[in-house]
Amino acid sequence: MIRDITIGQYYPADSVIHRLDPRTKLVATLVFIISLFLFRSFAAYLVATAFLACVIRASKVPFRYMVRGLKAVLILLLITVLFNMFLTPGTPLVRIWKLTITREGLTTAVFMAIRLTYLIIGSSVMTLTTTPNQLTDGLEKGLRPLNKIHVPVHEVAMIMSIALRFIPILLEETDKIMKAQMARGADFESGGILRKAKSMVPLLVPLFISAFRRANDLAMAMEARGYHGGEGRTRMRPLQYHRRDGAAYLSLLVYLLAMYAAKRIAGF
C-alpha cells in the first residue's frame, strides 16, 4: 500500500504521456519553456496553447489538477503583471491618478502572464505524469555525460531518490507519533508559541530517533545487497527509448517549427 503513496503531485493514470520516457518529458518541458521565451508573439502563443491543450488532453489528468500549481504563484503573477503594466515607459493609453498604463506595458504584462501561467502548467504536466523516482532515473541517465568532469551524478540521483522516498515514510511516521501522543493527552494546537514549541518535543524526539533508525537500517540493507556506488551497476528496468518517444520528439520539432512559422508569418 505504501508503494503508491508518492510525494509531489503524481496523478496515476494510464496515458501515453505517463508512459513516455522521463528523459523525453524532461527535454520536452525544457524545450517548451524555452520556446515560451524565445517567440514573443501572440500567434506563437496560440500555437503553444493548442500544443499544451493537446498534451493535457492526452495525459488524462483532470484540468483542475493542472491549475492547482498556479495558486502558489498567484501573488508573484499579480505583482509581475502590475509592475510591467504600470512601470514600462511608452505610449500612454490610460492614466489613473499618477499611474499610466502604456501600450508597451500592457503587451509586456499580458506576455508575462501567459508565459508564467504556461510555464507552471507545462511543468505541472511533467510532475503530474512522472513519479519522482522516474524523474530522478531520467535525470541520472540524462546527466551521465557529466561524470566525465567528475560530477557524482549517480550519488546525487541516489540521494535524491532516497530523500524523496523518505518523505512519505516520515510523514506517515509523524502522523502515527502525533496520534499516539494525542492518545496520551498531548495537545499540539492550543497555547502560545512557547507552549506550542514545547509540545513538539514529544513528537520530534521519537521522530528523529525513528529517522536515524530507518537510515541505519537502509544503509545496512543496501550493503547487505552489495551496493557499492554507481560504478558497474546495472538496472532491473533500464530506461529505454521506445517508438512513442521518437514520436514525442517529432511532435516537439513540429511544435517548434509551428511556433517559428506563426511568428514569421502572422507577425503579431
To other proteins, the closest distance from the beta carbon of 108 in angstroms equals 38
| Nine cell digits for residue 181 | 501522543
Query: Considering the complex, what minimum distance in angstroms separates the CB of residue 11 from other proteins?
Result: 5
Give the cell for residue 235.
538496472
Query: Is residue 79 at the binding interface for other proteins, with CB under 8 A as the rule?
Result: no
67: contact with other proteins by CB under 8 A: no
Binding residue for other proteins, selected from 1, 193, 236, 265, defined by CB under 8 A: 1
Nearest to residue 197, comparing CAs of 188, 206, 184?
A: 188
Residues 7-26 that bind other proteins (CB under 8 A): 11-12
- Under 8 Å between Cβ of 62 and 129: no
Minimum Å distance from CB 172 to other proteins? Answer: 12
Rounded Cα distance between 50 and 54, Å, is 6
DSSP secondary structure of 122-173: HHHHHHHHS-HHHHHHHHHHHTGGGGGGT--HHHHHHHHHHHHHHHHHHHHH
Nearer to other proteins, 27 or 186 (CB): 186
Considering only CA atoms, which of 130, 174, 155, 166 is closest in space to residue 25?
Answer: 130
Q: Which residues, in sequence order, are bridge partners of residue 92?
A: 102
Closer to other proteins by CB, 188 or 241: give it.
Answer: 188
The reply to whether 92 sits near other proteins by the rule CB under 8 A is no
Q: Which three cell numbers stand for residue 162?
A: 532516497
CB of 206 to other proteins, least distance (A): 5
Contact 17, 58 (CB under 8 A): yes
Which listed range, 3-11, 15-23, 106-114, 259-267, lies at the site for other proteins (CB under 8 A)? 3-11
Our CB check for other proteins shows the closer of 1 and 236 to be: 1
Instruction: Work out how close the CB of 68 gets to other proteins at its nearest, in angstroms, rounded to a whole number.
Output: 11
User: Which residues between 184 and 213 bind other proteins (CB under 8 A)?
Assistant: 184-187, 201-202, 205-206, 209-210
Dump the DSSP string for 75-103.
HHHHHHHHHHHHH--SSEEEEETTEEEEH
CB of 70 to other proteins, least distance (A): 18
What does the per-residue mask of binding to other proteins show for 159-188, with x meaning CB under 8 A? -----------------xx-xxxxxxxxx-
Q: Is the CB of 96 or the CB of 183 nearer to other proteins?
A: 183
Q: Considering beta carbons, is residue 62 or 246 the nearer one to other proteins?
A: 62
Cell triple for residue 74? Answer: 498567484
Asked if 188 and 177 count as a contact pair (C-beta separation under 8 A), the reply is: no
Number of residues located near other proteins, criterion CB under 8 A: 22
CA 17 remoteness from chain centre? 15
**Which residues form the interface with other proteins (CB under 8 A)?**
1, 4-5, 11-12, 176-177, 179-187, 201-202, 205-206, 209-210
